[in-house]
Structure 1
Amino acid sequence: MAFPSTLQRLAAVSAVALASSGAALAQEVVKIGYSGPLSGGAALYGKNVLDGMQMAAGEINAQGLEVGGKKYKLEIVALDDKYNPSETAINAQRLVQEHKTPAILVPHSGGSFAVQTNNEAQKYLLLSYTSVPQVTARGNKMTLRIPPEFTSYIEPFVKHAMGKYGKNVAIANADHDYAKAWTAAFKPAWEKAGGKVVAENPMSYNRATDFYSGVSRVLAAKPDVLFIGGASEPTGLVVKQARELGFKGGFIIIDQAKMDEMAQVTGGYAPLEGSIGVLPVVDDPAPATKAFVERFRKAYPGRNPSSEVSLNYTAVHATALAMKLAGTTTDAAAIRASLDKAMKQLPPAANPHGLEGVDERGGSLANTRVAVVEGGKVQERALRDFR
C-alpha cells in the first residue's frame, strides 16, 4: 500500500483549512432580498429602488458593518417579479430558503400583501415600499412601511386642482392595486369637497405604450382635471397624449409617478403646467438631499435620483443600523423592534428624505411636502400651504 507523502498530507490539511475558511467567510455575509419589477412598463421604477438599495449597501460595506462583535458584508439579492404579486410570493420563498434573507424589500402594495400572508410565520422582515395605509393597518408585526401614508397628499391635491381648474375630474390612472387604493381614497375626498367624477377609465400602465383610446374616452366627458399616475414613464405618456388631444386642464399625479422623470417623456415641464404631485428629489432644497443628489450623480453619471432611490437607500441604512443595535443579523423580530431607534439615529447623509422615525404600526414618519408646476417650473409647497 502506498502512503501519502508529507507534502501530500500538508496539501490535504491546507485544502481542509481553506474550505473551512471559505465557509467561515460565507457566514459573515448578511443578505437583504429584493423582489420588484425589473422588466416591463415599471422597470425604471424597480431599477430606481434597487439602485438606492445597492448604493446604501456599498456605503455600509465601505464604512464596515459590525454586528454582535462580528464584521459582515451586506449584499442585496435582487429578483424580478414583473410587478406581479404571485411572482413576489415565489421570489420571497426563494430569497428566504436559498439566501437566508432576514429582510426582503418589495416596492409595490400587491406584492407586499402577498408577502404578509406568511412573513410573520416564517420570521422575516418585510420592507414595504408603498404608501398604502393598509400595509401597516393590518397589524403585521414584521413590516416596515418605508414612505409615509399617501393619504396625507389627498387634501392638498384636491384643494389645489379644484381651486385652480374646476370641479370636474376624470380618473385615468393605472389599474394595479396601488392605484386602486389611491382611487378609493381620492374619489370620496373629491366629492366631499363639492367636485364631480365625470369619467373613470383606469389603464394598464405596466403593459400598454399607447394611451390614446383610453385618454380620449375620459376627455370626451370634458373634465377640468385628470387624476393620473402609475410608474413615471407611462404616466408621462398619458400627459403627453392628453395634451396632444387638446386637454388644457390640470393633473393630479399619484405619488408613484415622479415629475422629473415624467418631464423626460413629455419634453419638459411645460406639458405638466398646473400639475400637483410629490416633490422631486432633485428639487428638494435641504442640504442633506442636495449632497445625496451629487453623490448619486457621481455614482450613476447622467442620472438623477428619485424618491424611490433616496427612500430605499435610507431603508437599507436603517435596517443595517437596526441589526447593529439589536446585535443580530438573523432575528428579524429584534431588528424590527430596533428600527425606530435606528431611524432616529441615522446621520443626515444616510437619511436625505428626512424620515423621523417609525410608529407603533411600522410606518415611517416624515414631514411631507408636495410640488406644483407653475410657469414651467417645479415649486415646492408644504402641506400647511393648503390648509
Structure 2
Amino acid sequence: MRMLKKLGRAVAVATLGAGLSAGAMAESTVNIGFTGPLSGGAALYGENTLSGLRMAADEINADGGFDINGETYKVNIISLDDRYSPAQAATNAKRLKQESNVPAVFVPHSGGIFALQDFNEQDDFLIMAYTSVPTVTEKGNSMTLRIPPTFDGYVKAFTDYALEHEGKKLGMGGATHEYAKIWSSMIEKAWTSKGGEVVANNPMDYNKSADFYTGVSRIVASEPDVMFVGGASEPTGLVVQQARQLGFQGGFIVMDQAKIDEVAEVAGGLDMMNGAIGVVPLSVYETDAAKNFITRYEDKYGKTPGSEAAFNYLALHGLVKAMDMAETTEPKKIRATMNEAMSKLDPSKNPYEVTEVTEKGGFVTDTTLAVVEDGKIVQKEIENQ
C-alpha cells in the first residue's frame, strides 16, 4: 500500500521514446512534453528548439536533479513530431498527457498552440508557447506561458526602419502557416497605414517547397523596394537567395521566426542579406549570460545556437525552478510560481535575462532590431520601446 501511494504521488516515468537507462528509469522522473516539426521544411527549426530543452534537461540531471518535498526528481524530455500540423500537435499533446502525465508541453508554432488551448485547461497541463503571436496570451488561457516577446513591436520597428531607409513599395512573400499569415496581415496594415504601397502579395509554402522561383519571380516583377519574407530560417534563406538570383537588389523585412545569421548561411552569406531587417541574433549579444550560453552550447552541439534554443533552454530551467519552489508538479501551482521563479533563476541559465512573467503569462523581453550593412549585422536602437 505504501508503495502504491508513493507511485501515485510520483509523475509517471516515460513510456514514450527511448533514452533512459534501466537505472535512470528507477528514479522519480518528471516527464516534459514537446510537440513540434521534426520532419519537413521546418525540421531544423524544430530541432533547434528541442536542442535547448535537451541541454537544460541534461544540465539539471547532471546537477543531481531537483527536490520536491524531500524527494529528488530528474527531467525526461519526450518529443513527438507534428510536422507543423495543428491537428497532429493536439493529438500529440493528448498522448503526452494521457500516457506520460506531463505537467507541461512545449510547442514552437502558433497553430499548434491555438489547438492545444482548446483543451489544456480541462486536461490540466501548461502550454509552454514558443511564439510571438500576441493573441496567444491575450485569449485569457490561464495555463499558457508565452516565451518570446510579441511580434507587434517588431512589426512597428521593422516597418518604420524599412520605410525610412529602403523605400515605399513592399512585395510580400511570407509563408502560408498560421503564424506567418498573422504576421503578414499585421505588417500589410502597418505598411499601408504609414503611406507605403503593397505592390505584390504572394505567400508561399515554406514547409513543403525547396524551389521558390515561381513565387519569388512574381514578386520581383512588381519591382518592390523591400521584400517581406519569413518562415523557418532554412527555407527563408532559399527565398532570399532566389530573389537575389532574379535580380532583386532591395532590402528585406525578415519575420522574427527566421534569424538573420541562419538565413545568411543558406542564402550565400551576409553580403546577400544587405538591407535585411530582422531580430538581433543571439550570436550578436554582448552580455555575459548570452556569451556563457553560446560557449556551452557550441561545446555540446558543435554549432552556434539561435534564439529558439536559448529561449526554450531558459524556459525549462524556469519551469523546473518553479516546480522546486512550489514543491509540486501540479500545473496550476507551477504557473502561480513562474514569475517568482524567473526572478530567482541562476543568471548562467538565463541567456536572455528574463526576470519577469506578466499576469497574462508573457515572459518580459525587450524587442530588438538588427540590420545587415556592408555584410555585417548591426544592432539598432528602437525608439519608444
Q: TM-score, normalised by structure 1?
A: 0.92
Residues paired across the two proteins, number: 363
Question: 2:162: which partner in 1?
Answer: 161
Task: Give the structure 2 partner of residue 6 of structure 1.
Answer: none
Match of 1:323 in 2: 323
Aligned to 2:333: 334
* Residue 361 in structure 1 maps to residue 328 in structure 2: no
Write out per-residue CA displacement over residues 121-179 of structure 1, whole angstroms, 9 at most, x where no aligned residue.
Answer: 01100001000011111100000001010111112101211111111101101000000
1:345 aligned partner, one-letter code: K
Secondary structure at the aligned position of 1:172 is classed as strand
Deviations 1:70-110 (A, max 9, x none): 10010100000000001001100110011110100000000
Query: 1:286: Cα distance to partner?
Result: 1.1
Which one-letter code corresponds to 2:339 in the other structure? D
Is the 8 Å Cα contact of residues 368 and 382 (structure 1) preserved in structure 2?
no
Q: CA RMSD in A?
A: 1.5
**Once structures 1 and 2 are overlaid, which stretch shifts more, 79-88 or 22-31?**
22-31
1:11 counterpart residue number = none
2:33 alignment partner in structure 1: 33
Q: Which runs of 4+ in 1 moved over 6 A?
A: 22-25
Alignment check: 8 A CA contact 2:49 2:308 kept: yes
- Residue of structure 1 in register with 2:18 after alignment: none
1:125 and 2:126 correspond: yes
Q: Which has the larger radius of gyration?
A: 1
1:193-230 deviation digits (Å, cap 9, x = unpaired): 11011110100000000000000111111111001100
Query: How far has the Cα of 1:23 moved from its partner?
Result: 11
Supply the AA of the counterpart residue of 1:322: A
Q: For the residues of structure 1 that align with 2:347 and 2:213, how far apart are their CA atoms? A: 44
Identity %: 50
Show the 5 A alignment for 1:77-116: 77-116=78-117
Instruction: Name 1:18's counterpart in structure 2.
Output: none
Question: Please, which runs of 5 or more residues in structure 1 have no aligned partner?
Answer: 1-21
Report the Cα distance in structure 2 between the residues aligned to 1:135 and 1:282, rounded to whole angstroms: 27
Shift of 1:27: 6.5
Aligned partner letter, 1:336: R
| 2:344–2:355 contact (8 Å) kept in structure 1 | no
**Residue 382 of structure 2 corresponds to which residue in structure 1?**
383
> Contact conserved, 1:169 with 1:198, CA < 8 A, in 2?
yes
Aligned residues of 2:52 and 2:312 also touching (Cα < 8 A): yes
Equivalences for 1:269-284 in 2 at 5 Å?
Answer: 269-284=270-285
Q: Give CA-to-partner distance per residue, 1:30-60, whole Å, 9 cap, x none.
A: 0110000000000000000000000000111
Give the corresponding residue for 1:343: 342
Tell me, yes or no, if the aligned pair for 1:171 and 1:199 is still in contact at 8 Å: yes
Q: Is 1:149 matched with 2:168?
A: no
Q: Is the 8 A contact 2:27 2:74 kept in 1?
A: no
Instruction: Identify the residue that residue 14 of structure 2 maps to in structure 1.
Output: none
TM-score (norm 2): 0.92
Structure 2: distance between partners of 1:289 and 1:219: 38
Distance in 1 between residues matched to 2:48 and 2:244, nearest whole Å: 27
1 CA distance for matches of 2:229 and 2:355? 29
Question: What pairs up with 1:8-87 in 2 under 5 angstroms?
Answer: 26=26, 28-64=28-64, 65-87=66-88
Separation (CA, whole Å) in 1 of partners of 2:382 and 2:166: 19
Aligned to 1:263: 264
Paired AA for residue 275 in structure 2 = G
CA contact (8 A) 2:56 2:316 kept: yes
Question: What amino acid does structure 1 have at the position aligned with 2:223?
Answer: K
1:382 Cα offset (Å): 3.0
The 1:263–1:24 alpha-carbon spacing in structure 2 relative to 1, beyond 3 Å, is closer
Cα separation, partners in 2 of 1:78 and 1:217, compared to 1, 3 Å? same
1:215 counterpart SS class? helix
